[in-house]
Amino acid sequence: MEAYAATASPPTTTAMCVDKLSHQLFSLLETRLLGGWCPSVPGTPARALLDGGRVRVLAIDGCGAGAEDALLAAAALARLEARLRDRTGDPDARVADFFDVAAGAGAGGVLAAMLLLRGADGRPRYSAQEALAFVAGSVGTKGWCGRRGRWAKLFRRGSRGGDRTLRRVFGDATLRDTVAPLLVPCYDLATAAPFVFSRADAVESDTFDFRLRDVCAAACAAGGAVAPVRSVDGLTAVAAASGGVAAMCNPAGTAITHALHNKQEFPLATGVDDLLVLSIGAGASAANGSSTPMPARSPSPRELARVTAEGVADMVDESLGMAFGRARGSNYVRIQAGKALVPIRTDEASVAAEAMLAQRNVESVLFRERRLSERTNAEKVDALAAELVKEQERRRRSPLPNVAIKQVGTPARLSSATTASSGTGTARTASTMPSPASWESRR
């Protein structure tokens, strides 16, 4: 310090010396601090000591208005959950235990909300296998295109059957009643701007806390806008249109942006190298997969909206592929149906799910190449399960957590599905949510 003060140097040289000294001081301080934390691991780099793993992101597309759009996602997640249970030896492991944030649009929003919904015991209420059973059992007697299926009713504006289904699945639970951050993007017609239903905002204020059944109804509004979605305190109203209609059906970009900029919950996420993303595309359209020639007519507004949404979803995937660069195969995994399927019935849903998982999708990077994936969707799921288990172990060994999920702090800010007494609150939530076995009997 004295040597720098006694030397008369030009301003530029002095600034360079100060920067060098500051770097040396901070390096020394960092070394001393890390040495105090982990004296038993001499010579270990600072990055390795503080490496708490990557932030794990789940994004589920929702471009269309049919159960086929959710079948691939539900089947992939059910397979992932089974592989996670095998690798960890935990028969009660859930998909939500291995992801830090989940985003879903349209049909994907319903799936994401189901997997993250907190049950009476504080654990995820539904397993991925139960979600798959819900989707597979929701097809009408006339196949994917039938209008009598429970799932199809979710996508018809003003459908009483759809409202009753969402009420039975979610009860009075709100965005706060999830085990991990949930994001459901939509389009607010009142402000002519995108809007994201977010648990992080709901925890901060009742003004942004919405009931999950209302959020999912908005996400499924394939016919256009629904009645204004109001917050639990009634102060906020969103004239929501579904992500598919608004060409926002691929929520992966929304989820990644949230993870990189939400420093309160993800303080160490600074770039794509700090993320592990699973993006699941919509299933192939049964109508488009039919071998019967399409009639010579003008496409309907719904068909045009779907084509547009699928195109935008592909563009988002291509852009993310370029952003991840060489880490695309390790940090960014995309699962999507490779080709369309012919219309199927309820009892053939499991066969269709296996067929989608056995396909290889086309991978593309914006302004670069398009090629057929070397691995099937099932092989990608199995490889991802291994990576997720490694991330879990790495996180347990890290002295500094890389995820700090916001919790509801005071009883005054608890949601309508939770009270100051945890026993009373969980009982109220569970009382309106039936077991998956009773879904078929209530159709």
Predicted pLDDT at 43: 41
Spatial neighbors of 273 by CB under 8 A, at least 6 apart, are 54, 327, 331
The confidence score (pLDDT) of residue 143 equals 41
Determine contact, residues 320/251, Cβ cutoff 8 Å: no
Q: What is the pLDDT of residue 278?
A: 96
Q: Provide the pLDDT for residue 150.
A: 57
Q: Which residue in 103, 106, 107 sits closest to 67, CA to CA?
A: 107
Residue segments in the chain with a per-residue pLDDT below the cut of 70: 1-52, 63-69, 138-162, 221-227, 242-248, 283-311, 338-347, 366, 409-443
pLDDT of residue 414: 40
Residue 323 CA from chain centroid, whole number: 19
Which amino acid is located at 147 in the chain?
Answer: R
**pLDDT, position 196:** 92
Q: What pLDDT score does 33 carry?
A: 42
CA triplet 276, 282, 288: central angle to 5 degrees? 155
pLDDT single digits (tens) 10-66: 554 555 555 565 555 455 444 444 444 433 344 434 444 456 689 999 999 875 545
Torsion sign (Cα): 217, 218, 220, 226: positive
pLDDT score at 221: 66
**pLDDT, tens only, 92-121:** 999 999 999 999 988 889 999 999 999 999
The gap from C-alpha 112 to its chain's centroid, in whole angstroms, comes to 6
Q: What is the pLDDT of residue 220?
A: 76
Helix, strand, or coil here: 127?
Answer: coil
Q: What residues contact residue 376 under an 8 Å CB cut-off, 6+ apart?
A: 357, 358, 359, 360
Q: Check if CATH label 3.40.1090.10 holds for domain 55-144+157-286+300-397.
A: yes
Concatenated DSSP letters for 80-119? HHHHHHHHH--TT--GGGG-SEEEE-THHHHHHHHHHBB-
What pLDDT was estimated at residue 356? 86
Q: Would you say 380 and 335 are in contact if contact means Cβ atoms under 8 Å apart?
A: yes
- pLDDT of the residue at 441: 47
What is the DSSP-derived secondary structure letter of residue 293? Answer: P
Q: Please tell me what DSSP assigns to residue 137.
A: T
Q: According to the model, what pLDDT value does residue 286 have?
A: 43
Quick one: CA dihedral 344, 348, 352, 355, positive or negative? negative
- Name the β-bridge partners of 178: 117
Cβ atoms < 10 Å from Cβ of 234: 9
Q: In angstroms, rounded to a whole number, what is the distance separating the alpha carbons of residues 345 and 136?
A: 9
H or E segment and range at residue 372: strand 370-372
Q: What is the DSSP letter of 238?
A: E
The residues that bridge with 328 in the sheet, in sequence order, are none
What is the length of the chain?
443
